[in-house]
Amino acid sequence: MNSLQEKFLDLKRDRKAVVLAHNYQPKEIQEVADYVGDSLGLSYEAQKAKGECILFCGVHFMAETAKIVNPEKKVLMPDLNAGCSLADSCPADELQAYRNQNPGLYIVSYVNCTAAVKAQSDVICTSGNAERIVQRVPKDREILFLPDRNLGDWVMEKTGRKMRLWDGDCYVHMEFTASSIDRIRREHPEARVVAHPECTRAVRALADEVCSTEKMVGYCKNSSARTFIVVTEEGMLHRLRREMPDREFIAGPTDRCACGECRYMKMNTLEKAYGALESMSSEVLLSQEVIEKAKAPIERMLDWSRK
C-alpha cells in the first residue's frame, strides 16, 4: 500500500465514506475500496450503504444509479466527467421520440444508460442478469432492448426471444476483433477465452465462456485451466490476479494495442478520489422527478434478480 492509499483510508474513515469501485477501475482505487464489483453488485451495495456518503469510483451512469437507489446519501465521484460511449449512444430525447412513434413497447434498458433513459424504462438489467430479466417480461409484450445491440443479440441467442435492438455499442468492446482474439488464442492454445457479452458475435463465437465480469471470477475459479485470455476492459485483470494469484490472466488484445482500456473509467485516479473526499465536491445531482421515475425499473430489476 502506498502513502497516498494510506492517507486516503484515513480520510475515508474521517468522512465515514463508503467507497464503491467498479471492476474496471485502476488498481490503486480497487485496493482501497470497500467493495469492488460489477454494476449489479454495486447497485446492491449502494442501496444498503450505511456511511455518511458514497464515493462512487466508476462512470457517471453508475453513480447516478447509486443516487437513485439511495437518494438520502450524498454520492460523490472522483471525476464527474467520467462518461460512457454506450450511455451516450442513447440520448433520452431520441428514446422519447422513438417511443412516441412506436407506442406499447416494453423497454428493457441495460444499466449502462443515463438516469433520464432509465426513467423511461420498464425494467433495468445488467450483463449478469439480462437473460433472467428478459425471460421475466410478459410474453405478450414486444421488447425494445437498449442501448447495447451486442448484449441484446447475445440475450436473444440465450433466450430465443426476439427483441428490437437499439443501435448502440461500447467502443472498448468493439475494438476486440475476431482476428485479434484468434491470434492470441493460437499463441496460447492451453488458455480458456472468457469474453464479455458486449463483444461482437464474431468475438463471442471464439470464446469458451461469455459472461459478465462478476461471473468471470466464478468461471475462472471453478475451471481446471490455469491460463485465461480475458476479453473485456483491462481493469478486470487486476481483480482476477488479486483473487487468483496462482493463475495467469492475459489481456485480450485489440488490433490496435495489447489491452482494452476504457478512457472514461481511467479518468478516475486515486488523487482525484482523495480530492473529492477532501472537498466533498464532485457530487452527483439528479432531480427528484428523475429519481422517482428511474427508481421503479431499477427496483424491479433488483426484485426480479433476487427471486
| Residue span binding ligand SF4 (CB under 6 A) among the ranges 27-35, 160-168, 261-269, 272-280 | 261-269
CA distance 26 to 188: 26
Question: At closest approach, how far in Å is the CB of 10 from ligand SF4?
Answer: 30
Question: At closest approach, how far in Å is the CB of 226 from ligand SF4?
Answer: 27
The answer to whether residue 126 forms part of the interface with ligand SF4 (CB under 6 A) is no
Question: At closest approach, how far in Å is the CB of 149 from ligand SF4?
Answer: 13
Write the interaction track for ligand SF4 spanning residues 85-104; mark x where CB under 6 A is met and - where it is not: xx------------------
For ligand SF4, the closer of residues 240 and 265 by Cβ is 265
Instruction: Please list every residue from 101 through 120 that binds ligand SF4, using CB under 6 A.
Output: 112
For ligand SF4, the closer of residues 45 and 233 by Cβ is 233
Closest listed residue to residue 293, CA positions, set 156, 124, 53, 158:
124
Question: At closest approach, how far in Å is the CB of 232 from ligand SF4?
Answer: 8
Question: At closest approach, how far in Å is the CB of 85 from ligand SF4?
Answer: 4
The answer to whether residue 265 forms part of the interface with ligand SF4 (CB under 6 A) is yes
Write the interaction track for ligand SF4 spanning residues 16-55; mark x where CB under 6 A is met and - where it is not: ----------------------------------------
Question: At closest approach, how far in Å is the CB of 136 from ligand SF4?
Answer: 24
Which three-class secondary structure string do you get for the chain? CCHHHHHHHHHHHHHCEEEEEECCCCHHHHCCCCEEECHHHHHHHHHHCCCCEEEEECCHHHHHHHHHHCCCCEEECCCCCCCCHHHHCCCHHHHHHHHHHCCCCEEEEECCCCHHHHCCCCEEECCCCHHHHHHHCCCCCCEEEECEHHHHHHHHHHHCCCCEECCECCHHHHCCCHHHHHHHHHHCCCCEEEECCCCCHHHHCCCCEECCHHHHHHHHHHCCCCEEEEECCCCHHHHHHHHCCCCEEEECCCCCCCCCCCCCHHHCCHHHHHHHHHHCCCECCCCHHHHHHHHHHHHHHHHHHHC
Question: At closest approach, how far in Å is the CB of 265 from ligand SF4?
Answer: 5
Write the interaction track for ligand SF4 spanning residues 164-193; mark x where CB under 6 A is met and - where it is not: ------xxx---------------------
Residues that bind ligand SF4 (CB under 6 A): 59, 84-86, 112, 170-172, 233, 262, 264-265
